[in-house]
């Protein structure tokens, strides 16, 4: 991979990852999509049928299998939280970008979502708690952080390309 995006649910990893990959002319890979494809069912269905632990095992396998692929990788919101994944991300030489977001923005962005079991269960106070528990880990695995609340997805792409010292034609991520 040339860059990895981490951050809480709704921070924009999938949206921004797709746009960043398009801009750089490389493939986008999304851990949640890989898991859905491999399991043949939605994340909500995996949680319902097999439980969160089974989902986390699939997530770990998908991360391990993806690291050597070419392109941009969007992780799931909980990926860096498991110790094995945390170590893989922290030790990787690939730039890891933290997309940050305030809990209220998450609520606004995900208010009509039916596919994020944790966001559906938690509500605003639960999201604040869970994000508080996770923030240190997101920070520890990432090389830089972007607050996305007031930025459009394309502006977030601009920030990432600036911080990785790149004009599209001569971008570090291409090497």
Ligand X SMILES: Nc1ncnc2c1ncn2[C@@H]1O[C@H](COP(=O)(O)OP(=O)(O)OP(=O)(O)O)[C@@H](O)[C@H]1O
Interface of this chain with ligand SKM, residues 54 to 83, rule: CB under 6 A: 76-78
Q: Please, what is the minimum distance in Å from the beta carbon of residue 136 to ligand SKM?
A: 15
Distance CA 169, CA 27 (A): 17
Q: How far apart are CA 29 and CA 18, in angstroms?
A: 8
Please state, in angstroms and rounded to a whole number, the distance separating the CA atoms of residues 131 and 151: 20
With CB under 6 A as the contact rule, the residue among 2, 3, 4, 12 that binds ligand X is 12
Closest contact distance (angstroms) between CB of 130 and ligand SKM is 7
Under rule CB under 6 A, residue 43 binds ligand SKM: yes
Place of tokens 């491999």: 38
For residue 71, say whether it is annotated as part of any ligand binding site: no
Continuous H helices in the chain: 13-24, 31-39, 43-50, 52-66, 83-91, 103-109, 117-141, 153-163
Confirm or reject binding of residue 14 to Mg ion (CB under 5 A). yes
Report the partner that residue 151 touches, choosing among Mg ion, ligand X, ligand SKM, none (CB closer than 5 to 8 A by kind).
ligand X
Binding positions for ATP:
10-15, 116
């Amino acid at each position: 991979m040339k860059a990895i995006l981490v951050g809480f649910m709704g921070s924009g990893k999938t949206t921004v990852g797709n746009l960043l990959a398009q801009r750089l002319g490389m493939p986008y890979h999304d851990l949640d999509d890989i898991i859905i494809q491999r399991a043949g069912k939605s994340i909500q269905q995996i949680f319902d049928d097999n439980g969160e632990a089974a989902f986390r095992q699939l997530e770990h396998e998908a991360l391990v299998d993806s690291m050597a692929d070419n392109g941009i990788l969007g992780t799931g919101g909980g990926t860096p939280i498991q110790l094995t994944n945390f170590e893989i991300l922290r030790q990787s030489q690939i730039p890891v970008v933290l997309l940050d977001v305030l809990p209220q923005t998450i609520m606004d962005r995900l208010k009509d979502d039916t596919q994020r079991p944790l966001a559906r269960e938690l509500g605003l106070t639960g999201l604040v708690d869970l994000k508080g528990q996770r923030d240190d880990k997101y920070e520890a695995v990432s090389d830089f952080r972007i607050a996305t609340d007031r930025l459009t997805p394309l502006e977030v792409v601009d920030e990432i390309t600036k911080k990785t010292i790149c004009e599209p034609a001569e971008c570090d991520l291409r090497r």
